[in-house]
Structure 1
Amino acid sequence: MMMMMMMMVLIPLFLSLLSLLLFTLPATLASQSPPVFFPRATYQSSALEQNETPETKIPYKTQFFPQILDHFTYKPRSYKIFYQKYLINSQFWHHGGPIFVYTGNEGNIEWFAANTGFLLDIAPKFRALLVFIEHRFYGESMPFGKDSYNSAETVGYLDSQQALADYAVLIRSLKQNLSSEASPVVVFGGSYGGMLAAWFRLKYPHIAIGALASSAPILYFDDITPQTGFYDGVSQDFKSVSLNCFQVIKGSWAELEALSSQRQGLAELSKNFKSCKGLHSVDAAQDWLWSAFVYTAMVNYPTEANFMMHLPAYPVKEMCKIIDALPPGETKLSKAFAAASLYYNYSQTENCFNIEHGSDSHGLHGWDWQACTEMVMPLSCSNESMFTPYSFNYDAFAEQCRQKYGVTPRPHWITTEFGGKRIELMLKRFGSNIIFSNGMQDPWSRGGVLKNISASIVALVTEEGAHHVDFRSATKDDPDWLVQQRRQEVDIIHSWIDEYYADLRS
């Protein structure tokens, strides 16, 4: 049964976008999202529920912009207005100075602002205005209010092209209202937001002079990237720390499946996994474990962080320490549970785990629709990974989408709209001023741009980096490679802005 469930869907993110963005479970549509994309049972509320970041305490002012529903038709309904949320910080800005815009992911915009301290760190250097724009159909930016997800007729206005047009319209209006139309705009985004930032630079080069796209898996569509790359990447993160750890996790799935056939298996599993309520399915326990290992690999940051969950520095290493320290007599499944508990309960505040019914505290459920329409990422699991092997089955996935939303996915639309195959030629001919940053410990990096395409389309790749780690606030404990990566990004952005002002003067 578990194999059948896994073969019926992709994986995510973004988080969430992310994913958070987002991104990777076999048994739910939500797990099909890329970088910041989270399954229902795995996320908790972050520290930022106000309009300021926990690291800096510098407030953002909340604004709402009257946004048009449909930018691409002239039908009467297209003129409907909804109010799109954005956060703004002008503390360091001077009139005519640059405007740094974060292209929001699939979730509440405050959450992304809380985890993008990099912009606050560099704003004084550039005397920049900071703007974080919430993606339509997420957070409070709901075109039809509480009815926004009622049917395909309403949620059908949720797609990346409409989102990019939202950003373009809002940015132009903001510059006009500030009487600062000559201000250069640089867009930033991580995970799905990074994909949007790169695409925005390509689609609206007259609005943004450059883009920093961090952990943006723009090549995880069609057959550009091997389908097994993501899970192979997660597995390699654990295997590089401890072969025993890798083998224990790999062997735990068979023990879990064997338990499912026992008469009192679910009751025993509920007790051993400290479930707050009795489990109705072994699949839920598998997803719970799967999520912990996938997301820990994604956020294997070199410092303690509280993005998806509160985790220590290098949490993959800490998980493997737990597994390796347990006696040989312990089952692989109990060792896997002990390691996963680090992800869910590092703060030691949970007495039990809500394994089957988690809350959507960041408002990420819209990614299900996006995954069923344009964001089709065909990911599979190889025999070499530490997860149960499965192959992506488009027909089964499409049927699931038809049953849930009444729509059929368009697996080739993203590469048709934004390019993909031979993307280096497209970018070289039509693009400029894009930084693609990736850390090779992030499994999504395998679908990212990892080589320089031209002098102005640059790939910054770090061996130890995790999911958009460069966007996190700088700390005294940051390793040298991360400090250097951020310095390179700042220098490149400086060159874009200097060139822009030089052109403006001439």
Structure 2
Amino acid sequence: MQEVMLAYSSITMWLADRAQTKGNHWPKFLGKFAATARTHSEPPPQFHYETRCIQQSLDHFSFSELPTFPQRYLISTEHWVGPRRLGPVFFYSGNEDDIEWFAQNTGVVWEIAPRFGAMVVFPEHQYYGESVPYGSAEEAYKNVTTLSYLTSEQALVDFSVVIADLKHNFSTKDCPVFLFGGSYGGMLAAWMRLKYPHVAVGALASSAPILQFEDIVPPETFYDLVSNAFKRESFICFNYIKQSWNEMASAGQTNNGLELLTKTFNLCQKLNRTKDLYDWVEAAYSYLAMVNYPYPAEFMMTLPEHPIREVRTSILERIYEGVNVYYNYTGEAKCFELDDDPHGMSGWDWQECLKKFGVKPRPKWITTEFGGHDIHATLKKFGSNIIFSNGLLDPWSGGSILQNISESVVSLVTEEDLRSSTKNDPDWLVEQRETEIKLIEGWISDYHQKNKAMFDM
């Protein structure tokens, strides 16, 4: 069993525990929130924004004299009705990647902004994209000391500082802020609403596994849902995958086994151990389950509609063809690097917590900081104006809120959680999106009414 150590970042407490339990490489959090929904005949959406930077403290919780870093954020005032009409601010909680990638692939925020007359803001998460301290990613990721400030707690304060800066520079002091986020970003949006309720009037947290921590959700839940996604498309395909693990292990133990696997899976460099291949194949299955949209998409990779169906095509050759759907559907890759980072999320190694950093695990800290074991009671007593939106086919849904907690902490569960609209959307999806919009409208309206009552006093 792989010994995986834990970083200081709160979000890693869950991931390290899961890795210690299963000995697996965990995929990034990217889920179904940010899908760009379009057909091959539709041009990619064009979103217009300005890029700005704000100097952030590296550590918001101490008085140490540490270097600051430039946090990038994207802002669009194209549809904003301005401060005099109290136009809202739609604020996306940046995930574990370059923020432009999320901005270009989060259609729902852009689609509804004109309806609300909203400003749109996408702040980048610290240590990702161009928002890295110490001058470069190489320096920022160098060791445990430089990485120790990469935490969810610091990210939440970063976001709060950006919002405060908007109030000053754009006169948004009385404008309501509404949070959006998907997967890890959805967790941040929900946690921000709990930790800093004065900062935003509400949050839409999509595919946000805030319950998937030690002793709350069974450790096998994520991979059970990945398996179900493949079973649902083809039980034969599921059985091939099930058999493939033993097949890879057996092949790897023969004299020329690693050479055979290297050739079969078209790897750029000779395989040194089958474990590396397991992780690579497993990641492809997990991502395919996350992005198994019924339309072609380019959210994580260029993929066809229902990509899992493309996986059905001796066992090892079939498995290679299957993972090739994810890693090389366009046919552009000549070979594969097992340690390649196609999504530019090197910092996630720290947040996911690998043993190379030699950090002692604190698996209980995450639920101490944000709640978890009694999260339903916590949300009922202290939470309000949060939408937890989930598609039950998304593997991360197993760790999310799947039932209403109160009148203002709402769970919307569908068969497929699709975020951007298309002309082929089914009625149930249109209705769910409209339900989300009406909830947001209601909470913003409540904010305006309360503000008006205060001014009239």
Both proteins in one fold, TM over 0.5: yes
| Separation in 2, partners of 1:339, 1:33 | 17
Contact 1:188/1:211 (<8 A) preserved? yes
The amino acid that maps onto 1:341 is: N
Q: Secondary structure at the match of 1:496?
A: helix
Shift of 1:205: 0.8
Specify whether residues 133 and 238 from structure 1 end up closer, same or farther in structure 2 by C-alpha distance, changes over 3 A only.
same
- 2:157 pairs, out of 161, 165, 176, with 165
What does 1:231-380 align with in structure 2 at a 5 Å threshold?
Answer: 231-320=223-312, 322=313, 331-350=314-333, 352-358=334-340, 360-372=341-353
* Mapped partners of 2:172, 2:23: distance in 1: 43
Alignment match, 2:29: 35
> Which residue of the partner structure matches residue 450 of structure 1?
402
Is the Cα contact below 8 Å between 2:389 and 2:412 reproduced in 1?
A: yes
CA contact (8 A) 2:300 2:343 kept: no
One-letter amino acid of the structure 2 residue matched with residue 483 of structure 1:
V
Q: Which residue of structure 2 aligns with residue 141 of structure 1?
A: 131
Q: Give the alignment partner of residue 168 of structure 2, picking from 168, 176, 182.
A: 176
C-alpha displacement of 1:30: 9.9
State the distance in 2 between where 1:365 and 1:298 align: 20
Tell me which residue corresponds to 1:477: 424
Q: Is the 8 A contact 2:152 2:188 kept in 1?
A: yes
Using the TM superposition, give the Cα deviation of residue 34 of structure 1 relative to its aligned residue in structure 2, in angstroms: 4.6
Q: Does 1:115 align with 2:97?
A: no
1:56, CA displacement in angstroms?
Answer: 2.1
**1:371 CA displacement:** 2.6
- Which residue does the alignment assign to 1:386? none
- Give, in whole Å, the separation in 1 of the partners of 2:173 and 2:207: 30
Q: Deviations over 1:138-192 (max 9, x none)?
A: 1111121221122222211110111101111110111111112100000111010
Answer whether contact 2:5 2:360 (CA < 8 A) is retained: no
Q: Deviations over 1:37-60 (max 9, x none)?
A: 9xxxxxxxx99xxxxxx7321222
Structure 2 residues not aligned, in runs of 5+: 37-42
Closer, same or farther in 2 for the Cα pair 1:445/1:171, shift >3 Å? same
> What does residue range 193-212 of structure 1 map to in structure 2 within 5 Å?
193-212=185-204
2:69 is aligned to: 82
State the distance in 1 between where 2:115 and 2:99 align. Answer: 24
User: Cα–Cα, structure 1 residues 160 and 357, in superposed 2: closer, same or farther, change >3 Å?
Assistant: closer
| 1:153 aligned residue | 145
Structure 2 equivalent of residue 419 of structure 1: 371
- Answer whether contact 1:25 1:290 (CA < 8 A) is retained: no
Give, in whole Å, the separation in 2 of the partners of 1:64 and 1:99: 17
- Stretches of 4+ aligned residues off by more than 4 angstroms: 24-30
Where does residue 39 of structure 2 map in the other structure?
none
User: Is the contact between residue 310 and residue 347 of structure 1 (CA under 8 Å) also seen in structure 2?
Assistant: yes
SS in structure 2 of the partner of residue 135 of structure 1: coil
Report which stretch shifted further, 453-462 or 267-276. 267-276
Letter in 1 for 2:74: L
Deviation at 1:356, TM superposition (A): 2.4
Give me the CA root mean square deviation.
2.5
Q: Distance in 2 between matches of 1:209 and 1:284?
A: 45
TM-score between both structures, scaled by the size of structure 2? 0.89
**Which residues in structure 2 correspond to 1:390-405 (within 5 Å)?**
401=355, 404-405=356-357
**CA distance in structure 2 between the partners assigned to 1:10 and 1:409 by the alignment:** 6
Question: How many matched pairs?
Answer: 430
Does the 8 Å contact 1:194/1:214 carry over to 2?
Answer: yes
CA distance in 1, matches of 2:342, 2:19: 18
The answer on whether the counterparts of 1:238 and 1:246 sit within 8 Å (CA) in structure 2 is yes
Label 1:274 to 1:76 Cα distance change in 2 as closer, same or farther (>3 A).
closer
Separation of aligned partners in 2, 1:187 and 1:8: 36
Is the aligned partner of 1:57 residue 2:38? no
Contact 2:186/2:206, CA 8 A, preserved across alignment: yes
CA deviation after TM superposition for structure 1 residue 501, in Å = 1.1
Q: Partners in 2 of 1:464 and 1:168 — Cα distance? A: 32
The residue correspondences of 1:427-466 to structure 2 (distance < 5 A) are 427-465=379-417
Instruction: Report the CA distance shift for 1:102/1:296 in structure 2 as closer, same or farther (over 3 A).
Output: same
Instruction: Decide whether the 8 Å contact of 2:5 with 2:361 is kept in 1.
Output: no
Change (3 A) 1:252 1:459: same
1:371/1:349 CA distance change after superposition, 3 Å: closer
- 1:128 aligned to 2:101? no
Deviations 1:303-322 (A, max 9, x none): 211111111112122323x2
CA distance in 1, matches of 2:162, 2:30: 24
- CA displacement at 1:477 relative to structure 2: 2.5
Preserved CA contact (<8 Å) 2:21 2:219: no
In 1, are the aligned partners of 2:25 and 2:279 still within 8 Å (CA)? Answer: no
Distance change >3 Å, CA 304–CA 336, structure 1 → 2: same
The Cα of 1:410 is off from its aligned counterpart by 1.1
Higher RCO, 1 vs 2 (CA within 8 Å, ≥6 residues apart): 2
CA distance in 1, matches of 2:134, 2:200: 29
Letter in 1 for 2:390: N
**Paired letter, 2:206:** S
2:349 is aligned with what amino acid? D
Instruction: Give a deviation string over 1:387-440, Cα, whole Å, max 9, x none.
Output: xxxxxxxxxxxxx63xx2232121011100010012111111111000001111
Partner residue in 1 for 2:218? 226
Distance 2:256 2:24 in 1: 30
